[in-house]
Structure 1
């Protein structure tokens, strides 16, 4: 989904961005926040678009405390630029989203996208410790971190993570970072689901474990050299070049979806489908979906019946309108609508794209 707005704004500071957003909201102009554009196809087609509000000039590392293992950055910095800065201190942020490179930190938080490393480290929400958000009323609200200014008692980090910019525009964030592993080994097999079960049962759990629809398995082990050597020896798989993960992170498709399900039900959901890749340990799969709306609806129905979901990550506009990006609204939809009214009463932020 690509929206063409009549005005493109690229403010150079959080304060400028907040003012631009407020000015647009005062005129009831529809605002489309844009980061790196890597998740731009996510969501239903916007009902209107007047102003594109880009964060890419907000690209500074605000503070990096190596000893405390904390970093604060502006939202427009790319993941690659942040990783390069952290690498100087032997540290990293465990994010490896698909459709890379080019994701901004703010875009990753707004979209909730993750990659294979989610299996060990969780989602960005698990190591996000602070956030700063521009609101339509012109305020800059901060939550978490060393300074807590939550708005009217709301947990700002939980509210804005994965909200696709529907409640505010993320302008900065702080994270706990991690030391780069002493040892990082990737092994591969062609053993399909059975071999993923073997990998998940090893004494040292893999940091990432990916299964492909052709039966290929990739496992990434990080940590103590001795422990990894023992585990890799027990598996007996072939060693692969670690660069395979960067190649894997480039995966995307013109029409693709993320399927989430309880771990024990993911295999049944994917049975009979082609062109998918999955993280069995996390209960997540990505599917290069066919241009067949009824087939996608059928898979979504099965996913929801199993307690999971199917979210479209990109598709042509007509297809997205037919299938819908999000599926059945969650039980919390009434609460979400109340939050939308509280933060964006005139519905100027990404109108029509999110579930509210």
Structure 2
């Protein structure tokens, strides 16, 4: 077993309510396999972590034996600009990855909160996807291979380094969004894209949430060039932000078309201003841990009606509703003392056939309101997969309802 590091009382609290007895720094795949193999034999629970941005999300869990610090698994393994492929260790930050790609005029076309500390392994584990998923997809769509260690210590690889890889099972995408409950990533192989030469955003104000969502539905249906579009309703009003990226002339034409279709332009942001606006927006996803945050997924055709009804019950409260209509997603942020309001929103979403995740809340609310919503159909299949990948149940025990 590797020597634990940072073994102090403060270091053992990885995040609010997340405690471990010892922290182990991992720097190689074989070392990680040894740790997990021994943990399985001794029935020691393990919590892997990188940038620690999402450790508090999930069901409350008891203290774990080990916290696995994966930030030592960092660095670019292979980069072939001509092939548009990249292999990188899981503890590498997105800022380092984007800097390397940018030097060759390429990028990962994804939204990343706080890229200076967010690791690619953590992003894959949580399955986070921001507004750019509307057109460019998420990290899941860019995964073409990975190396990982199962809960029982089995070191394995899946996929490869070619974009059109059709051999074997889709294990890399399967592990995406599994919250470290099945395996721990060592490295990932990704396909990359050319860096957009221009970036622009149009802002438009609306009198009501329902009117804004209807306008955005039409915009998305009629504008294939739209990269991202979000409706935000808060005590200051209702704002629509629509983004376009690509060649300068095409972006300018897209913004003109957005303005014509929305009919209520108030501002245009270009280049760094546009990028900064969207970076700030996704950063707020990771800054609201002092409040109650619910992420809701619904059918795109139903998201407008659901958002309007949520707007009705949050009226008069200091609430922010963020709607990505094309993705069928809503994000609701309410004050920390709004437990009853959160319970009402969750009940409304569930009754409407939508799913929700309680991203941030007090320990008391997490105990009374299911963090992951109602159990989905096929939960027993998911549990059988968990037993196959992690037979000892040592990885993030209790975090997911598996």
Q: With structure 2 as the length reference, what TM-score do the two structures score?
A: 0.82
- Any idea what SS the aligned residue of 2:82 has? coil
154 and 233 in structure 1: CA distance in 2 versus 1, 3 angstrom threshold: closer
Q: CA deviation at 1:294?
A: 3.8
- Any idea what SS the aligned residue of 1:216 has? strand
Q: CA deviation at 1:332?
A: 1.1
2:323 matched to 1:304?
no
Hey, what does 2:231 align to over in structure 1? 211
300 and 101 in structure 1: CA distance in 2 versus 1, 3 angstrom threshold: farther
Does the CA contact (< 8 Å) of 1:293 and 1:322 recur in 2? Answer: no
2:191 matched to 1:176?
yes
199 and 336 in structure 1: CA distance in 2 versus 1, 3 angstrom threshold: same
1:2 and 1:342 map into 2 onto residues whose CA distance is 28
Hey, what does 1:239 align to over in structure 2? 268
Query: Unaligned regions of 5+ residues in structure 1, if any?
Result: 148-152
CA displacement 1:200-248 (0-9 Å, x = unmatched): 2444431111110131111110123333322322333321221211211
Hey, what does 2:55 align to over in structure 1? 40
2:255 matched to 1:227?
no
Q: CA deviation at 1:296?
A: 2.4
CA displacement 1:96-126 (0-9 Å, x = unmatched): 1346652111111111111111111122211
Q: CA deviation at 1:146?
A: 4.3
1:65 and 1:160 map into 2 onto residues whose CA distance is 24
Alignment: residue pair count:
351
CA displacement 1:16-43 (0-9 Å, x = unmatched): 1221122222211110011111111211
- Any idea what SS the aligned residue of 2:135 has? helix
Which one has the bigger helix percentage?
2
1:146 and 1:227 map into 2 onto residues whose CA distance is 32
Hey, what does 1:289 align to over in structure 2? 334
Q: With structure 1 as the length reference, what TM-score do the two structures score?
A: 0.92
Hey, what does 1:277 align to over in structure 2? 322
2:263 matched to 1:263?
no
77 and 2 in structure 1: CA distance in 2 versus 1, 3 angstrom threshold: farther
Does the CA contact (< 8 Å) of 1:47 and 1:353 recur in 2? Answer: no
1:56 alignment partner, one of 43, 64, 71? 71
Query: Unaligned regions of 5+ residues in structure 2, if any?
Result: 1-15, 163-167, 207-211, 260-264
Bigger relative CO (Cα 8 Å, ≥ 6 apart):
1
35 and 197 in structure 1: CA distance in 2 versus 1, 3 angstrom threshold: same
Does the CA contact (< 8 Å) of 2:125 and 2:180 recur in 1? Answer: yes
Q: CA deviation at 1:277?
A: 1.6
Larger radius of gyration: 2
Q: CA deviation at 1:160?
A: 1.4
2:282 matched to 1:249?
yes
RMSD: 1.9
1:72 alignment partner, one of 55, 63, 87? 87
- Any idea what SS the aligned residue of 1:328 has? coil
Does the CA contact (< 8 Å) of 2:161 and 2:189 recur in 1? Answer: no
Does the CA contact (< 8 Å) of 1:2 and 1:40 recur in 2? Answer: no
Does the CA contact (< 8 Å) of 2:94 and 2:119 recur in 1? Answer: yes
Hey, what does 1:156 align to over in structure 2? 171
2:115 and 2:105 map into 1 onto residues whose CA distance is 22
